[in-house]
Structure 1
Amino acid sequence: MPVTGTGTPMRRTADGPGPEAMVAVRDLVRTYGGGPAAVRALRGVTFEVPRGELVAVRGRSGAGKTTLLNLVGGLDRPDAGRVAVDGVDLAGLGERRLLELRRERVGFVFQTFGLIPTLTAAENVGVPLRLRRAPRHEREARVELLLSLVGLREHAAQRPGELSGGQQQRVAIARALANRPALLLADEPTGQLDTRTRETVLELLRAVVDSEGATVLLTTHDDELLRRADRVFELRDGVVTAGR
């Protein structure tokens, strides 16, 4: 059963999001460990990501950026606060529905890439399409297009261990876009790319927003990526302290 319409809709209220928000975060708290050694990664974060925008979160290492993406993507649960994606309150979803949400609406680009080492680049990109049982011809055409867009068509048959870090990052980005996600979450997507490839990825992320109407929420230290974002938030010590 698809996730559409499931969960608890977060309708507009005095303190709730409007219908234009793809992501709505309210008073989000996440703490790791306990006692004197406890680490408060997020300390009451509140913000919204409008639909169809490229939104960047910047901040020093340890500021809570990756934790925030994991909570928005339903990979982790908050200690307090609320997260809504596309109008659905994640707290109202069980693990099966969270899995459906991630499969159908959300694409992920992790710093560690998350590629399957035994699969080729093309097979890795095609995994999300296989999970939703896309016809073979559709799957192959989409994979070829995405590998071409990230400049890796000639490397389609190579496995991750045969690719450089930058090439693996590009495969990860192509895979995240395979199902045309409504929301793309990316953790430092240009962090390991050379100048030329970085420019290609920047243009691709911008095109995903402008041409396909997707929403992109990413973390970055890349000044050029920050400049091209529609909106920028800053996380400092687990709190949103600034934005534009």
Structure 2
Amino acid sequence: MSSEPLVVAEGVRKVYRTGPKEVVALREVSFEVHPGELVAVRGRSGSGKTTLLNQVGGLDRPDAGRVVVDGREVTALSEDDLLGLRRDVVGFVFQSFGLIPVLSAAENVGVPMRLARTPVAEREERVRTLLALVGLERHANQRPYELSGGQRQRVAIARALANRPRLLIADEPTGQLDSQTGRQIMELLRALVRSEGVTALVATHDPSLITLADRVLEIADGVVHEAVRA
């Protein structure tokens, strides 16, 4: 494992304001994630997990502190550079799958490569490889409504890996799945971290899934600390 961290968060603070009311979502959060790790972020709903992932992935900006991903200071990037980061360096998997309903599984996986203007032959080969990797090569032409929840999440994971990101961010990827399917998805993520050489930061509140992580960051009331494993 590399000694240089892929993700560095230093003193990250995020406050949401609704009129005179303030909600502190993150309180001076600091942590590191090293290449090749699968790090789980554990906490109850509303604890700040999604807010934390959004800061790392450049989907939101903190009020204070800094985040560095793959040597780039995310918190200082322009909007264009953030788009580049999300296209080339970070892949996202969401609880709601986020697939395009009118596109087939293969077409959904290919979307990031179309945006990156990957040559057609290379794109099609990468789509075939990824669908095989997540066990869906026989479902390439099916649309999301023809797939189960677990299959849709597998398509979403394949899509997130399309442009060979260094960091995979997954926000409650098993939240809409039954416990058995959820564990299969987490085991798939674990396997992909090893086979694809990707680093993963996964938010979950499911204690049965935590055992698959290399490390666990516990978040409560916007405060993060590393959990002690039993």
Inter-partner Cα distance in structure 2 for 1:216 and 1:186:
7
Answering whether residue 93 of structure 2 is matched by residue 93 of structure 1, we say: no
Relative to 1, partners in 2 of residues 1:144 and 1:240: Cα closer, same or farther, differing over 3 Å?
A: same
Aligned to 2:93: 109
Letter matched to residue 22 of structure 1 = L
Inter-partner Cα distance in structure 2 for 1:30 and 1:93:
17
Cα drift, residue 128 of structure 1: 1.1
Cα drift, residue 41 of structure 1: 1.0
Structure 1 window deviating more from structure 2 (118-127 vs 231-240): it is 118-127
Is the contact between residue 50 and residue 171 of structure 2 (CA under 8 Å) also seen in structure 1? yes
Inter-partner Cα distance in structure 2 for 1:207 and 1:131:
27
Q: TM-score scaled to structure 1, two decimals?
A: 0.85
- Provide the identity percentage: 65
Relative to 1, partners in 2 of residues 1:196 and 1:150: Cα closer, same or farther, differing over 3 Å?
A: farther
Aligned residue runs from structure 1 range 1-244, under 5 A: 20-34=4-18, 36-194=20-178, 197-244=181-228
Is the contact between residue 167 and residue 200 of structure 2 (CA under 8 Å) also seen in structure 1? yes
CA RMSD after TM alignment: 2.0
Cα-to-partner distance string for 1:83-122 (whole Å, 9 max, x where unaligned): 1101111122100001001111110001122212221111
Q: TM-score scaled to structure 2, two decimals?
A: 0.90
**How many residues are matched?**
227
Is the contact between residue 55 and residue 216 of structure 1 (CA under 8 Å) also seen in structure 2? yes
Cα drift, residue 36 of structure 1: 4.5
Cα-to-partner distance string for 1:105-155 (whole Å, 9 max, x where unaligned): 110001122212221111111111112222222212221222223232332
Cα drift, residue 160 of structure 1: 2.2
Inter-partner Cα distance in structure 1 for 2:133 and 2:80:
32
Is the contact between residue 57 and residue 219 of structure 1 (CA under 8 Å) also seen in structure 2? yes
Inter-partner Cα distance in structure 2 for 1:196 and 1:57:
20
Inter-partner Cα distance in structure 1 for 2:101 and 2:22:
35
Letter matched to residue 23 of structure 1 = V
Cα drift, residue 167 of structure 1: 2.4
Inter-partner Cα distance in structure 1 for 2:139 and 2:181:
15
Cα drift, residue 193 of structure 1: 3.3
Which runs of no fewer than 5 residues in structure 1 stay unpaired? 1-17
Is the contact between residue 186 and residue 218 of structure 1 (CA under 8 Å) also seen in structure 2? yes
- 1:228 is paired with a residue of what secondary structure? coil
- 1:61 is paired with a residue of what secondary structure? coil
Is the contact between residue 183 and residue 209 of structure 2 (CA under 8 Å) also seen in structure 1? no
